[in-house]
Amino acid sequence: MRGTMLLACVLSLGPVVTYAAFPKVALQPITKNQLVAPVGITNAGDGTNRLFVNDQRGAINIISGGSLLPTPFLDLSAKLVPERAGFDERGLLGLAFHPNFGQAGLTGADKFYVFYTAPRPGGNPTDPVNPVDSQSVIAEYRVTAPGSNVADPTSERILLTIDKPQFNHNGGFLGFGPDNMLYITTGDGGGGGDNEPGHTGGGPGTVAPAISGGLGNSQDRSKLLGKVLRIDVGGTNGPGGQYGIPADNPFVGVAGVREEIYAYGLRNPWRATFDGDRLIAADVGQGAVEEVNLIVKGGNYGWRIKEGTFDFDPTVTPSPAAPLIDPIAQYTRLGQQWTPQDWHLGDGGSRLSRVGVSRTGGQVSVRRLQHRIQPR
């Protein structure tokens, strides 16, 4: 189904003493019936004010001067895993431009990065013990000249691939932090409960009930699934030599732990955003609690032990033990059935709001709004 691209301006205020009136939200149609499944929109930061729209089915399109350009910036549809009937969470999910993009003469001036789902050669999605549905690919591409509206499709350099046991829970955010490192969010590998075949401690018949004691991929620090990763796109000391491991990553030198990991214990952090030097990630819940997390170096965000601030499988015993970090915001879904006791668990005694279905994205702007706030 082809949709309409809308630009929304939403201002979100942080916890301050006084508040101005919440601003109005305005929607302006930019395209109609030209995009299939747009899942991201990115400004390259090169001063051209172009907006790059990545479509789940593989195309990156440019909005310039208020209209969609007729030729895609890049089309990766031939590289993607075939679309699944019904619904699919795989595809072209993330896009990020090098911090020096468009600055002629600087390293990275012609480079950008994508996160997409590709077929896994030799993978067997029906293997009862170690299924492999597909692989997540983090790749670099280039443009032929500064300001070009078309990228070079032959310039791909694959930095990293991650095997996934099921089709869902891919994560998909790419973003450069103020430290010029590339941050990547990955889901727990899919299925349900981080507890199926292909998930640490999981296997046939372990999805329901949730309590099984299985560690799950998100708590398993030997795996890259269910994590926030941090890599140096200009380095070479990572596995395969196509990226670097920053020396100040939290688990550098820890035996048995993937050194790319910046934070862990996440279920499906589909979208994230930087607010200055703070990384804020939305994590889609299993069936009850949606959450927003302030990501800190080395942090464990609790999945599959907890869902939000609520117990999911408290019998899980990660090793080593680590404090579980609560979300900074959470809500339950419309239509979710909770007992009166459940409503008051883990949320300081207050009821969780029933608002929507899942966290699908957002931007945070606190510091830049504080000077606008006036006493009531």
Domain positions in the chain: 37-376
Residue 343: which H helix or E strand, with range? helix 340-343
Q: Which residues pair with 280 in a beta bridge?
A: 273, 294
pLDDT above 90 covers what percent of the chain?
70
- Which residues, in sequence order, are CB contacts of 169 under 8 Å at separation 6+? 89, 187, 188, 189, 190, 191, 267, 268, 284
Q: Which CATH architecture has domain 37-376?
A: 6 Propeller (2.120)
- Which residues, in sequence order, are CB contacts of 179 under 8 Å at separation 6+? 246, 277
Confidence of residue 260 (pLDDT cuts 50, 70, 90): very high
Residue 340: which H helix or E strand, with range? helix 340-343
Nearest to 359 by CA among 284, 273, 269, 281: 284
For residue 362, is pLDDT > 80? Answer: no
Distance between CA atoms of residues 82 and 7, nearest Å: 29
State residue 356's pLDDT score. 62
Nearest to 169 by CA among 218, 219, 229, 122: 218
Q: Could you tell me the pTM of the whole model?
A: 0.88
Confidence of residue 3 (pLDDT cuts 50, 70, 90): low
Give Cα 35 to chain centroid, integer Å.
Answer: 21
- Which residues, in sequence order, are CB contacts of 92 under 8 Å at separation 6+? 39, 54, 55, 56, 57, 58, 59, 60, 76, 80, 114, 115, 116
State residue 204's pLDDT score. 73
